[in-house]
Amino acid sequence: MEREVITLLSLREIDKMRQAGHLAAKLLHHLSSLVQPGVSTLKLNDEAEQWTQAHGAKSAPLGYKGYPKSICTSVNEVVCHGIPNAKQILKDGDIINIDVTVILDGYHGDTSRMFFVGEPSPIARKLVEVTDECRRRGIAAVKPGAKIGDIGAAIQEYAEAHGFSVVQDFVGHGISKVFHTAPQIPHYGKAGTGRRLRPGMVFTIEPMINEGTWEVKVLADKWTAVTLDRKLSAQCEHTLAVTETGVEILTPYPGEDIS
């Protein structure tokens, strides 16, 4: 297989990515207060679009490969790329992933997390907690000299140990001025395999963890990916930089220090 070029970012460019990433994280935090029973996913979208513009940035998803909205809102069995819709009203017990990507001064910040609408079922809570721990473990595998396969192995091992499965059809990705570029970051795989991580690499880790089968299906709208068995799916995402000593989370959740 051809060796793809993985661009290493300069410290100046990583600072641009940090500005964009922190803005994306702030947007996600801003939206969190709106997630309540009775709110439509379109309302979340419109608030995100307005907030992003007011902060001098652009919504990367809008118009990307024909995507029609500014954010992705993936509820319950939706794995990713759920399209906000006025008719989709959040209800008590739903779980929702909100995925935002902003472009600030040409650079992308891409992040997502899960929210509970009211009270989740025990299995929904467990799935979200396991997915969140997969995020931590995946990030903990990132350091110079480690390999891309170490990330997926850490995530897959933890998810499967809890009886869940890892989506294979969507992967993390290099990101900078370009939304999706090399390298691909699978959330499954074998430790010690794949390309070596080097300082200056910037990519996302965005595991999608399913309650049942790992298999997904894309609906007729060409975007919405759902679990094949229609059981629950959860996801969280950060944009990260490999540093000289380890990793920097470029999209830190406000008020949370895990980097």
Which of 77, 94, 110, 211 lies at the binding interface for Co ion (CB under 5 A)?
110
**Of 99 and 150, CB closest to Co ion:** 99
Which of 204, 43, 188 shows the shortest CA–CA distance to 111? 204
Taking the C-alpha atoms of residue 70 and residue 157, their distance in angstroms, rounded to an integer, is 33
Size of the site for Co ion (CB under 5 A): 4
Closest CB 170 distance from ligand MF3, rounded Å: 8
**Rg for the chain (alpha carbons), in Å?**
17
**Of 150 and 237, CB closest to Co ion:** 237
**Of 32 and 121, CB closest to ligand MF3:** 32
Beta-strand pair 95-104/181-185? unpaired
Is 99 labelled as part of a ligand binding site?
A: yes
- Residue 139: phi and psi, rounded to 5, are -65, -40
Tokens of 26: 């702030």
Closest CB 93 distance from ligand MF3, rounded Å: 25
Residue 181 binds Co ion (CB under 5 A): no
Taking the C-alpha atoms of residue 203 and residue 6, their distance in angstroms, rounded to an integer, is 10
Is 108 labelled as part of a ligand binding site?
A: no
Taking the C-alpha atoms of residue 74 and residue 118, their distance in angstroms, rounded to an integer, is 16
Is 110 labelled as part of a ligand binding site?
A: yes
Is 81 labelled as part of a ligand binding site?
A: yes
Cis before 183 (ω within 30): yes
Which of 13, 99, 150, 211 lies at the binding interface for Co ion (CB under 5 A)?
99
Closest CB 243 distance from ligand MF3, rounded Å: 22
**Of 99 and 211, CB closest to ligand MF3:** 99
* Residues of the shown chain interacting with ligand MF3 in the complex, contacts defined by CB under 6 A: 61, 64-65, 67, 72, 81, 99, 101, 110, 204, 206, 223, 237
- H helix runs in 96-223, sequence order: 122-140, 148-161
**Of 170 and 214, CB closest to Co ion:** 170
Chain Cα centroid distance, residue 4: 23
Which of 204, 210, 233, 235 lies at the binding interface for Co ion (CB under 5 A)?
204
Give Dmax over CA atoms of the chain in angstroms: 50
- H helix runs in the chain, sequence order: 11-32, 41-54, 122-140, 148-161
Which residue is nearest to ligand MF3, using beta carbons?
61
Binding-site residue numbers for substrate are 81, 180
Q: Which residues bind Co ion (CB under 5 A)?
A: 99, 110, 204, 237
